[in-house]
Amino acid sequence: MPRKTPPQPPGEQDAEPSKANVDQCRRCELWEHATQGVAGEGPRDARILLVGEQPGDEEDIQGRPFVGPAGRLLRALLDEAGLPPAQVFMTNAVKHFFFEPRGKRRIHKTPLQRHIAACQAWLEAEVSRVHPAVIVTLGATALAAVYGGKIAIAAARTQKLASPEGTPIIATYHPSAALRAPDHDARAKLRATLLSDLKRAARMAAKG
């Protein structure tokens, strides 16, 4: 079940989740090893707000959301769906990169519930500031953070979902899933699913 009373930003200084504010966040331990925080990016009047899981390696280095391989695929799909990335607000449920070092590489780790909870106030503030017509969640972590409860992506795609504040949610897969798919057919199927869901979000936003 979705949460009934989402956590609010802890103070007025957090009502504007700027890059500087996120950089200074110490609500969990992820800041200790991350390069920097990654706040959301996009226009304040965006009709669509996209929520991913967390910054990846390139996002952590550049300090911007969705600039790595998955982000480049997402931006290409947005263009294909008739949604210029510059007109969409992009953010993540978790604002610092959670990883484990493996040689010279930094390997992504799925954020823990405490990381999602620590960042909830940032996400709520971004949603409140943008006030989108539609929220698109990319992956299970993002869906849980926005919806307030766990539900499988396949099941969520067949249901009408809304955030606790009443904003319609379109749940879809994270673009990284398409990149990790084991073969061409699986990659093509996931890509087509993502594109279909983004087009559906565009239609909903146009009506809202």
Domain residue limits, the chain:
17-207
Fold that domain 17-207 belongs to in CATH: Uracil-DNA Glycosylase, subunit E (3.40.470)
pLDDT recorded at residue 6? 40
pLDDT recorded at residue 126? 96
pLDDT recorded at residue 86? 87
Contact between 9 and 125 under an 8 Å Cβ cutoff? The reply is: yes
pLDDT recorded at residue 17? 76
Best CA proximity match to 120, nearest among 97, 139, 147, 98: 147
Could you state, in chain order, the average pLDDT of each consecutive group of 10 residues for the chain (208 residues)? 42 63 95 96 96 98 97 97 93 98 94 96 95 97 94 94 96 96 96 98 90
From CA 97, how far away is CA 115, in angstroms rounded? 10
Best CA proximity match to 6, nearest among 185, 148, 151: 148
pLDDT recorded at residue 120? 96
Which residue type sits at 138?
A: L
